[in-house]
Structure 1
Amino acid sequence: MCMHMTGRRLTNLLAYVTTAATGATLLTGCGVFPGATGGSREPVTVMTWAPDQTRATNMPGMPAMAQAYARWVNSQGGIDGHELRVLTCNEHNTSTGAAACARRAVHEKAVAVVGSYSQNGRAFMAPLEAAGIPYIGGYGISEDEFTSQLSYPVNGGQASLIAGHGLQLAESCRTVSLVRPDTLAGDKLPELLNSGLRKASQRNAVDIPAVEDAAEYTAQAGQARDKAGDEDGCVTAVLGERTQTFFDSFRRLPDDESGGATDDKSDAVRISSVLGSVGQPVIDRTGGARSPFEGAFVTGWYPEAGDKSWAPMRKVIQEHAFADNRVDPADAGVQTTWIAYTVLKEVIETLDEDKITATKIAHALDRGAQIDTGGLTPALRWKYEDLLGAPGFPRIVNHEVTFQVVRQGRLVAQKPGFVDVGETVLSAP
């Protein structure tokens, strides 16, 4: 570390900083970069954004994982001799915030946006497209991530999760109530879930829209329980960070008109969700084995958090995230960011050039650079013939999911391996 740096500057450099003025922070080094070949290889600047400290879904672990990745890779000599500089930005769960982050990436000459979360695809993709900046491994929450030619998704997004969840629930549920956000993105979820249910000749789910950032969901919880029924009924909620709030309201439903506490009636209904709305961190916070999620079905993109394929990521977190409790290896956002930076690293290494540009990265991906993620996903490649071509989600290349269940407070595999839901997504209207 440079001797002329003040302690205050070093602290700021390693902290996750968000301000209204810049919305971003830059993680850099100084002096002679270890591993660089005579200083001939230029640094590579990228950005990772996510919402933080908002009333809806927050993903602070994604920028924090990006910073830990930069510390790790730079300690190894960088990516093919290039120092990795990571800009982070709080997009505030607003279209204005997302657009501001994208403009910042353009202004700072980022060569890619990597491993980020935003529901505001239209707001951030336009500035990136105008500047030719690729969007690598976004969380998969916005439709634009699966339509823009400069987007390179590493998972099948909400589309694959929800369609796969329908398949998972069809094996155990007679009737399904779906509680989902009353948003444009949420409007697409019922048909995706139904496409999975119909694959097993099940009837459509009951659609229950809800405000995404509500403080409680008693009315929706009561409706969901009543519509699911007592005989093999299932209630699934996909409300992001507010899913926990919903199931808290669900547990508190009165058992009868006298207002007695719910016991048998709600317990007779199986609950479920998808990764990102429910994950190991949420289960841990809500009581582990005594969590309301005990026994819940969960559909994910990746292997369970305890799978050996995550060992390299865990090692990096242990050694380079220090005591940063935002970086949870069981968090789907952290996992997606790790995979996205794996893609970036492999692409830069295949280029083997002194100067890396956004155009070179995008061309390498378009020409068929194939990425091995160490078993966390199938091999990733974004040539035309690799695209699923589903209506609304044409750029899905990874359409595999995992079926998991909460047992003794841990998310574990319900069935081994991946489940291909490509045909199910294609069959959704």
Structure 2
Amino acid sequence: MTGRRRTSSSPIRPRVPGSVPEKATPRVRTVLVSAGALVAVASIAVACGVVPGTTGGSGDDRVTVMTWAPDKTSATDKPGMPAMAQAYARWVNAHGGLNGRKLEVLTCNDHNDYVDAAKCARLAVKENAVAVVGSYSQYAGSFLSPLESAGIPYIGGYGLTDDEFKSVLSYPVNGGQPALLAGLGEELGRTCGRVALVRPDTVAGDELPLLLDAGLKAAHHASAADVRAAEDATALDDQARQALEEATADPRKKGCVVPALDERTGTFMDSFRRLSADYRPVRTASVLGSVDQSVIDSSGGGSGPYEDAYVTGWYPEASDPRWNEMKEVIKEQAFDDDRIDPADAGVQTTWIAYTVLKKVVESLGDGEVSARTIRIALDNGLKVDTGGLTPTLRWRFQDLTAVVDFPRLINSEVTFQIVRDGRLVAARKGFVNVSKTLESTDSE
């Protein structure tokens, strides 16, 4: 949610024209060389809305991947994820490439649209991408089918949909929304009175109450009130009022309001802050992606509505030194790119996903790097150390958790953070495993 959101008043969004791959035609290749281009230009498709990516050089010995995310829509945008992928490519190519190979990153805008999500996937197939890495889309049902038909692995998706934890070609790096909501439910069940969840009225949003309730149930707490909001709503007074009424219905214990609206969380909190004076005090709580340090700062810091709020994340807090390498890469390769916020969960997920890609390519040595060899390396038990940003990642069958609804989930650990004096800090040391709580959702 921390990417800079741009809106469009028209449901038909113009496609961004751009360059074609160096290998596309001799004429284009000549133009690029004569222009003094030092890197090849990633392909874009007018129909798909792809924007120029970053490539590593002009030879055939390159690794081509794709990263996609929505941008310039009226809903959730994640422009920082493709931008982080481009910065990573520039950085890795400036330091010898992936085991000597140049990294070429193609990017695509899925426009928060199921048709465009499928177009992005088909373009990845057309451009012979060996993987889709560190991406965000709520339309896994549209993009996974083309990838599966071509055997292209999906590494490090945002974890927004169930399908990302079901496809045999998906290699998630975090527990997605399931782990965040289940973990938050566990925490709130121990501290809150009545709980109200405010979530998008979408297919993906329909899963959130079930997951939060699983955590609440694990803490022997009643289910949360389910407050729905249109994904593109510009005012959320009705939802704020409903959430406050639900959370304050029991005077015996302070209630909790959980906005899980990603970029729309700020819109909700504007309404919540105005209306909350008419109700007894409640506590707020959310998940990383809907709340981060920049959101807390802009809402008043220590005097704002997030003070004492619980926030569940996949990774250590943004100030943790384990993020230093990523921050140095951003400083070196994207210092003036305001799309990239190092505290954004999407940017962090893209960084970790490319860490996985780098480890895979290095493990292949001088051998073939293809979608097939990448899948084999991952399926055969390659271990990926992310420098403590996640537990060691591995995708063998025996590494999968026993969560029937999410069979590809390998990392069910979350972090608990809390807002103290306007700063997002660790509420507990280390990771907390929520796999048992997630298993309880199977019987719902």
Judge same fold: TM > 0.5, yes or no.
yes
Equivalence for 1:248: 270
What is the CA distance between 1:317 and its match in structure 2?
0.8
Q: Distance in 2 between matches of 1:355 and 1:42?
A: 10
- After superposition, where does 1:152-163 map in structure 2 within 5 Å? 152-163=171-182
Q: Which moves more between the two structures, 282-291 or 193-202?
A: 282-291
SS in 2 for 1:311: helix
Superposed CA offset, 1:371-393 (max 9, x none): 00000000000001111131321
Aligned 8 A contact 1:155 1:301 in 2 = yes
- Report the 3-state secondary structure (helix = DSSP H, G, I; strand = E; otherwise coil) of the residue aligned with 1:188: helix
SS at match of 2:64: strand
Amino acid at match of 1:416: K
In 1, the alpha carbon distance for the partners of 2:301 and 2:405 equals: 37
The aligned residue for residue 257 of structure 1 is none
Whether 1:343 and 2:356 are equivalent positions in the alignment is yes
Does 2:408 align with 1:389? no
The aligned runs of 1:355-374 (5 Å cut-off) are 355-374=368-387
Q: Please name the residue that 1:263 is paired with.
A: 277
Q: How does 1:27-426 map to 2 (within 5 A)?
A: 27-30=54-57, 42-229=61-248, 230=251, 231-253=253-275, 262-263=276-277, 265=279, 268-426=281-439
Residue pair 2:313, 2:416 contacting (<8 A) in 1 also: yes
Q: Deviations over 1:233-291 (max 9, x none)?
A: 000011111011111111122xxxxxxxx43625x111111011111232233343344
Q: 1:272-318 CA distances to partner (integer Å, 9 max, x unpaired)?
A: 11011111232233343344323221100000001111111111111
The count of corresponding residues between Structure 1 and Structure 2 is 409
Distance 1:180 1:11, change over 3 A: same
Write the distance in 1 (CA, Å) between the matches of 2:245 and 2:315.
Answer: 33
Contact 1:281 1:331 in 2 (8 A): no
Q: In 2 relative to 1, CA 94–10 (structure 1 residues): closer, same or farther, beyond 3 Å?
A: farther
Q: How far did 1:60 drift?
A: 0.5
Q: What residue identity is the alignment partner of 1:27?
A: T
Go from structure 1 to structure 2 and tell me whether the alpha carbon gap of 1:219 and 1:278 turns closer, same or farther (over 3 Å shift): same
Name the CA shift for 1:10/1:76 in 2 (closer, same or farther; >3 Å). Answer: closer
Contact 1:154/1:380 (CA < 8 Å) preserved in 2? Answer: yes
How far residue 159 of structure 1 moved from its aligned partner, in angstroms, is 0.3
Assess if the C-alpha contact under 8 Å between 1:389 and 1:395 holds in 2.
Answer: no
The structure-2 alpha-carbon separation of the partners of 1:3 and 1:123, relative to structure 1 and needing over 3 Å to count, comes to: closer
Q: Report the equivalent of 2:4.
A: none
Change (3 A) 1:11 1:233: farther
CA contact (8 A) 2:186 2:216 kept: yes
Q: Secondary structure at the match of 2:286?
A: strand
Q: Partner letter of residue 148 of structure 2? A: E
SS in 2 for 1:397: coil
SS in 1 for 2:191: coil
Which secondary structure does the structure 2 equivalent of 1:194 belong to? helix
What is the CA distance between 1:27 and its match in structure 2?
A: 1.4
Q: CA RMSD in A?
A: 2.2
The amino acid of 1:377's aligned partner reads: T
SS at match of 1:184: coil
Q: Is the 8 A contact 2:61 2:101 kept in 1?
A: yes
Q: 1:177 to 1:67 in 2, by over 3 A?
A: same
Letter paired with 2:255: G
Aligned to 1:34: none
Provide, for residues 305-363 of structure 1, a one-character-per-residue CA deviation record: whole Å limited to 9, x for no partner.
01111111111111111210111111100000000000000011011134310000011
Q: TM-score, normalised by structure 1?
A: 0.91
Equivalent residues of 2:56, 2:89 under 8 A apart: no
SS of structure 2 residue aligned to 1:299: strand
Task: Say if 2:196 and 2:257, in contact at 8 Å, map to a contact too.
Answer: yes
Does the 8 Å CA contact 1:390/1:426 hold for their aligned counterparts?
A: yes
Residue type matched to 2:268 in 1? F
Please state how far the C-alpha of 1:11 moved relative to its aligned partner.
11
Amino acid at match of 2:159: G
Q: Structure 1 stretch 186-195 or stretch 130-139: which is displaced more?
A: 186-195
CA distance in 2, matches of 1:27, 1:5: 19
In the alignment, the residues of structure 2 paired with residue 21 and residue 140 of structure 1 have an alpha-carbon distance, to the nearest angstrom, of: 23
Alpha-carbon separation, structure 1, partners of 2:226 and 2:168: 32
C-alpha distance in 1 between matches for 2:154 and 2:217: 33
Distance in 1 between residues matched to 2:68 and 2:313, nearest whole Å = 22
Structure 2: which amino acid aligns with 1:402?
T
> Is contact 2:65-2:132 (8 Å) kept?
yes
Cα distance in structure 1, aligned partners of 2:64 and 2:32: 24
Mark the runs of 5 or more structure 1 residues left unpaired by the alignment.
32-38, 254-261
